[in-house]
Amino acid sequence: MKVRNALLAGARGLWLAVFGLVTSILLFVLTVLSICFIVLGVGLVTTPVAVRAVRAYADTRRGQAEAWAGVRIPTPYHPAPPAPRAGIVGQVEQCVALLKDKATWRDLQWLLMDMTVGTVLALLPAALLLYLVWGPVLALGVWKPIVRADGTFWFTFVPVTDQFTANLAAATGVGFGIVGLLVNPYLMRGHALLAAQLLRPTRERELALRVDRLTESRHDAVDSSAAELRRIERDLHDGAQARLVAMGMSLGTIEALIEKDPAQAKRLLAAARADSAEALTELRDLVRGIHPPVLAERGLGDAVRALALRMPLPVEVDVELAGRAEAPVESAAYFAVSEVLTNAAKHSGARRVWVDVHHADGSLRIAVTDNGRGGAPRPGTGGGTGLLGIERRLGAFDGVLAVSSPEGGPTMVTMEIPCVLG
């Protein structure tokens, strides 16, 4: 595994060095020239194209940093205006927006660094491995013609003049190789970290991005809680409240009838009692919709278990929680699970569902898996309004939702909400 990683690092480094050097130089020169030519007018057209190319390239490298070295680099760019105006005004606006974005200049700095320090750092893993081959090959006799032609040949710091020094070179090469095997993955990580210095958002930009996200999720939270209040008001108004009014009227009539027509009064009493039972049922359902009793009494784990028992298909629940999260988090998680389970029961055609709830690394993690036919719409791609609702609900707590649902199944919905257990 270690050897494989090291070899992989070498190959990737080589690719990064060669491809990176060429692309970085090309893009850097093109962008700088474009920006200079803005004065001449040509730049107005070419700058947005060049900058976008730089961004696409930087995004690719961000992806590689994560995939190859586990270094996550968030994207810092300001969102582009939804519909840029046509003509010269639009071009000017685009250029101004792009040039005002600090990330554009940081990208250019990164290109400059990537083609210098970056290239060297990327070449190192490959070079170390190449020495591993080159040293022994030299010692096998290849040194003879080279020395004969050029005199002393320097294998890094070893001057090769005869078989003995050639052997020494081979040993050094093997040494380099071993060092390479050990440090190559770290070199790749270093390379990614170096890129991250300039490719990730500045502290200021990071805060701005976070504020944007929070504003959005606050809007969602306010909207959904307002909608919820309207629903509760309507349910109370049309349901329990109406039944209580009916009951009051029945009781009034009974009062008048009780002596004149006891039989009729008795019938009305029975009706009034039925009304009160109905009102209670409706209130109970309403309470369950706002804050499920088991959730209040026992917390998330048992609430999900109780929920599973009410599902029309077998649900296996596995809970590992050392305490209780805050009430709003528990509630959001509960309703998210409820929605996902309802979806699974309604649409997936699953015969079995598994729910796994646990807390790790400061996050509440919930996975709901079913063995249905899959093909669930991703949130936000139309059709998936239920999932979108969950995403918004979780978003208010900085939580995230991921859906994996290939055609043919299985569907797996995972949720993660940062929180502490108390």
Q: Within 13 Å of residue 230, how many CA atoms lie on the same side as its CB?
A: 6
Nearest residue to 71 (alpha-carbon basis) of 206, 207, 195: 195
Quick check: 113 and 129 in contact, CB under 8 A? Answer: no
What is the closest distance, in whole angstroms, from the C-beta atom of residue 324 to another protein in the complex? 11
Does 219 contact another protein by CB under 8 A? no
- Segment near another protein (CB under 8 A); pick from 37-45, 181-189, 300-308, 388-396: 300-308
List, as one string, the DSSP characters of 38-89: TTTSHHHHHHHHHHHHHHHHHHHHHHHHHHHH-------PPPPPSSPPSHHH
Q: Binders of another protein among 21-60, rule CB under 8 A?
A: none
What is the closest distance, in whole angstroms, from the C-beta atom of residue 306 to another protein in the complex? 4
Residue partners of 407: CB distance under 8 A and separation at least 6: 373, 374, 375
Q: Quick one: 74 or 314, whose CB is closer to another protein?
A: 314
Chain CA centroid to CA 205, Å: 19
Q: Quick one: 113 or 286, whose CB is closer to another protein?
A: 286
Q: Binders of another protein among 310-369, rule CB under 8 A?
A: 310-315
What is the closest distance, in whole angstroms, from the C-beta atom of residue 252 to another protein in the complex? 20
Token pair in block for residue 265: 């009064």
Q: How far apart are CA 167 and CA 138, in angstroms?
A: 8
Token pair in block for residue 26: 């090309």
Q: Quick one: 205 or 243, whose CB is closer to another protein?
A: 243
For residue 153, the cross-strand partners are 160
What is the closest distance, in whole angstroms, from the C-beta atom of residue 298 to another protein in the complex? 6
For residue 355, the cross-strand partners are 317, 368
What is the closest distance, in whole angstroms, from the C-beta atom of residue 372 to another protein in the complex? 15
- Maximum alpha-carbon separation in the chain: 133
What is the closest distance, in whole angstroms, from the C-beta atom of residue 238 to another protein in the complex? 21
Q: Quick one: 223 or 318, whose CB is closer to another protein?
A: 318
List, as one string, the DSSP characters of 310-359: HSSS-EEEEEE-SS---HHHHHHHHHHHHHHHHHIIIII--S-EEEEEEE
Q: Binders of another protein among 260-299, rule CB under 8 A?
A: 273, 276-277, 280, 284, 287-288, 293-294, 296-298
Q: Quick one: 93 or 278, whose CB is closer to another protein?
A: 278
Q: Quick one: 179 or 270, whose CB is closer to another protein?
A: 270
What is the closest distance, in whole angstroms, from the C-beta atom of residue 94 to another protein in the complex? 58
Q: What would the 3-class secondary structure string for 206-255 be? A: HHHHHHHHHHHHHHHHHHHHHHHHHHHHHHHHHCHHHHHHHHHHHHHHHH
Does 309 contact another protein by CB under 8 A? yes
Q: Binders of another protein among 189-218, rule CB under 8 A?
A: none
* Alpha carbon separation from 60 to 22, 39, 117, 199, 309 (Å, rounded): 15, 31, 19, 11, 47
Token pair in block for residue 273: 């009692």
Q: Quick one: 134 or 354, whose CB is closer to another protein?
A: 354
Q: Quick one: 136 or 299, whose CB is closer to another protein?
A: 299
Number of residues this chain uses to bind another protein (CB under 8 A): 23
Q: Quick one: 31 or 369, whose CB is closer to another protein?
A: 369
Among 59, 302, 356, 398, binds another protein (CB under 8 A): 302
Among 189, 305, 347, 365, binds another protein (CB under 8 A): 305
Among 174, 306, 367, 421, binds another protein (CB under 8 A): 306
Residue partners of 176: CB distance under 8 A and separation at least 6: 128, 131, 132, 135, 156
Which residues are near another protein by CB under 8 A? 273, 276-277, 280, 284, 287-288, 293-294, 296-298, 302, 305-306, 308-315
